[in-house]
Chain A
Amino acid sequence: MLSQAADSLYWMARYLERAENQARLLDVSLNMAMIDTPEDREAQLAVPLEIAGTRELYDACYQELTPKNLVQCMVLDRNYPDSTYNLIRKARENAHHVRGNLSADVWESINSAWLEIQDFSQGDVTEFNASWLSDWTRERSHLFRGAAYGTMLRNDAFLFLRLGTFIERANNTARTIDVRFTQASLPEHEKDARGFFEWTALLHSLAAFEAYQNLYGHNLQPLNILELLILGRDVPRSLQACMKEIVELLGQIDGPRGRSAKRLANSLHANLRYGDHTYIADRGVEEYLKDFIHRVDRIAHEMQRSYMEGQA
């Protein structure tokens, strides 16, 4: 398929996945901030910004980190590049470019999201209906995914779209574990109820709370949680699950290109598939995650270079 089209499909899916992940992170942070002491509240609210690496950007526009401001910023702010508004706008622009490669259902799911979000006004958006907005965003993302699964031809367009989803997701999961893990493992949180909520927040941020209960029951053990989110084969947002998809998708792209992306992805996947928690513990969770993020970025970079830049 056309290199430029592959690029647009890939970014379209990345932006939508990012919107979904952010909606979840924002929702969790607002909930956590409500139960927190005033001193800890700001730290909670900063979590989504830290995960996205946009704290400075936020501070440049808003004086205080309050629930209201955070919601305003992350949902409709035209100047914040990763606001839901801007993510859907960018997804729609990319979709418009590859209109010819999308099924009508996929296009309409994105186009109608864009039409709807333009009708939301800043005045309507507060910390009190943020949950509703988060639901809306996640539903739009589910609708897009469902339409893509249900109606798109299984060709390269579909593969690049899916690659966008999983590269973004792998990145997001790793960053979320990183930031939330640091919060949860502060010594003063180890034994009290706070610690419990922190771990719950991590699971909720990655839509894995129910999966955890299903597998491990109510007993929240940090080691189990990390095992599930990093090595778990059957949780859709774990690092291993993301890498498994990326490897499979890359493997289906025919042609001589993309060897280095494929090689890097396979090696990272093998590392997770045959790794265990002692290996991670030995390296240190933070160190491990930092390395993972770096390697995913390289895979993305290699993909971009060999498929999407369209060298003659």
Chain B
Amino acid sequence: MQLKAPAPHLYDELFTANGDVRPHYQFIAQWLQAAEEKRMAEKHREANALFRRSGITFNVYGDTEGTDRLIPFDLIPRILSASDWELLQAGLRQRVNALNRFVHDIYHEHEIIRAGIIPAEHVFANAQYQPVMQNLKVPRNLYAHIAGIDIIRHSDGQFYVLEDNLRCPSGVSYMLENRKMMMRLFPELFAELPVAPVDHYPVLLAETLKAASLKPDPEVVLLTPGRFNSAYFEHAFLARQMGIELVEGADLFVRDGKVFMRTTAGPRQVDVIYRRIDDDYLDPLMLNPDSTLGVPGLCAAYRAGNVVLTNAMGTGVADDKSIYPYVPDMVRFYLGEEPLLKNVPTWQCRKEDDCKYVLENLADLVVKETQGAGGYGMLIGPVASKAEIAHFRQAIRARPDNYIAQPTLSLSTCPTFVNSGIAPRHLDLRPFVLSGKKVQMVAGGLTRVALEEGSLVVNSSQGGGTKDTWIMER
């Protein structure tokens, strides 16, 4: 099949600016050129049938019809060279360390605030800030045990962190299933190329969850909001892979300040809860009284140190978009190092000068709600209609501190199957970083790809797809 070089002002993962194939893509480029369109279409159908049969589907909120939808899967892998990964790995480790130090600090001594680096109101007035966490000791001072860091490559070829996800980052099951699918469809490629394995992720995750408690052999469970959650497939998948119970709120109860699960053999105490529900829904007694997802009394048990939550409560402060601009300063402040990964330059509408600039340049900027997630509540200036821009202008004027803005980055592109053959499409990368006794990650991540030509929105809730991510071992 024919490979097309992308527009020259973009960074392409496969082609250099001169239109040459990058060394780590040589083999795949030849393989694609030799591939027959018919065979690839067959393979694509096979992949979809397999995904559907195994129930690897995704529920989209606000969509009444398709409760179970497949995330489009692209057959062309996204490949990163060994040296790229080395930089990413060191940078991620550094960043997640600093973020954990930051969360610990804001719930203890507030040193970074006293040093004048982050204004107090950014932290304490933040909706994600949980006063109940103040002075609570958590094992190993760890808060973000599981982090998913969204990274893009700009047209300058450099990596930038777009977002830190420290609450309940999802998507890792797609990383694992995509690899399984590629190995099933194209085993011959793996015989030829030194692709780093990812399938030990559940082992590392289980290790991390156990290390979250100081007990020698803690009972770990995964708490899901239930079958109708968009990520239920992932919850069940991870619980099964780790051999731990998948529980819903109703499976748990609190007695004498301890958490138990209801089992066929009677109550069994739970030590670590890998919770995939948000802070607000954890305990109807303390937080959202309407929540039917949580466990009454859970917060008290947590405060008493009788159960560990991963990630910790109140961790969301650190991944809030209003705190994001300060992460490089955190690295310098807590670790005394220069950040290895860059932040995207960010204007904070809460600052008068920034706000003015943003309002004047809306058509060129990406505007995000500080509390938004999943690509909802976002304006992409260059492709937005006049009405959308006007709507955001009004919204920013009304609540400036709800918004940040960033330059429209040109996410790098990668060849992707589309109706007309193969064409470049924009993508990002979400590696998963695990913090336990040490910081660990598998060489890989979730690559999301925007399937519409020119689109920069990769979120699966907005029609994005995924690719298998290959890190070359040499």
- List A residues at the B interface (Cβ < 8 Å): 1-6, 93, 96-97, 99-102, 104, 107-108, 111-112, 115, 156, 160, 253-257, 307-308, 310-312
Hey, which chain B residues are within 8 Å of A307, CB to CB?
A: 264
Determine which residue in B237, B246, B264, B267 has the highest number of CB atoms from chain A within 10 A of its CB, and name it.
B264
Instruction: Decide if B397 is an interface residue (CB 8 Å cutoff).
Output: no
Residues of A within 8 A of B233 (CB): 99
Taking CB atoms, residues of chain B closer than 8 Å to A115 are: 52-53
Question: Are A104 and B54 in contact, with the CB atoms below 8 A?
Answer: yes
User: Are B246 and A100 in contact, CB atoms less than 8 angstroms apart?
Assistant: yes
Q: Mark B255-279, 1 if CB is under 8 A from A, else 0.
A: 1000011111111000000000000
Contact assessment for A2 and B262 in the assembled complex, using a CB-CB cutoff below 8 Å: yes
Interface secondary structure of B, over-half rule: mixed
Nearest residue in B to A3 (C-beta to C-beta)?
Answer: B262
Q: What are the residues of chain B within 8 A of A3 when measuring CB–CB?
A: 251, 262-264
Other contacts beyond A2-B247, A2-B264, A4-B262: 5, CB < 8 A: A2-B262, A5-B251, A255-B264, A257-B265, A310-B251
Main secondary structure on A side of the interface with B: helix
Establish whether residues B263 and A2, one from each chain, have CB atoms under 8 Å apart when the complex forms: yes
A-B contact count (CB 8 A): 80
> Which of B53, B232, B235, B262 lies in contact with A310, CB distance below 8 A?
B262
The 9 closest A-B pairs by CB, nearest first: A310-B262, A255-B265, A99-B236, A100-B246, A100-B239, A307-B264, A100-B236, A100-B240, A3-B262
B258-312 interface (Cβ within 8 A of A): 260-267
Interface size class of B (residues with CB under 8 A): 20 to 34
CB-nearest residue of chain B to A111: B55
Choose from B54, B222, B236, B250 the contact partner of A4 (Cβ within 8 Å).
B250
Chain A residues whose CB sits within 8 angstroms of the CB of B245 once the complex forms = 1-2, 5, 100
With an 8 A cutoff between CB atoms, is B356 at the interface?
A: no
A104 CA to B176 CA in the complex, in Å? 15
Q: Which residues of chain A are within 8 angstroms of B437 by Cβ–Cβ distance?
A: none
- B172 → A minimal CB distance (Å): 15
Nearest chain A CB to B63's CB is how many angstroms away?
18
Residue of B nearest to A112 (CB): B53
Q: Which residue of A lies closest to B242 (CB)?
A: A100
In-complex Cβ contact of B263 among A93, A101, A310 (8 A)? A310
Measured between alpha carbons, how far is A257 from B246 in the docked complex, in Å? 22
Contact of A257 among B55, B222, B239, B266 (CB under 8 A): B266
Contact B236 A255, beta carbon cutoff 8 Å: no
B449 to chain A, nearest CB (A): 26
Q: Enumerate chain A residues within 8 angstroms of B263, measured Cβ to Cβ.
A: 1-3, 310
Q: How far is the CA of A57 from the CA of B246 in the complex (A)?
A: 38
Q: Are B247 and A312 in contact (CB under 8 A)?
A: no
What would 9 A/B residue contacts be, using CB atoms closer than 8 Å? A1-B264, A2-B251, A6-B264, A96-B232, A99-B237, A99-B240, A111-B53, A255-B266, A312-B262
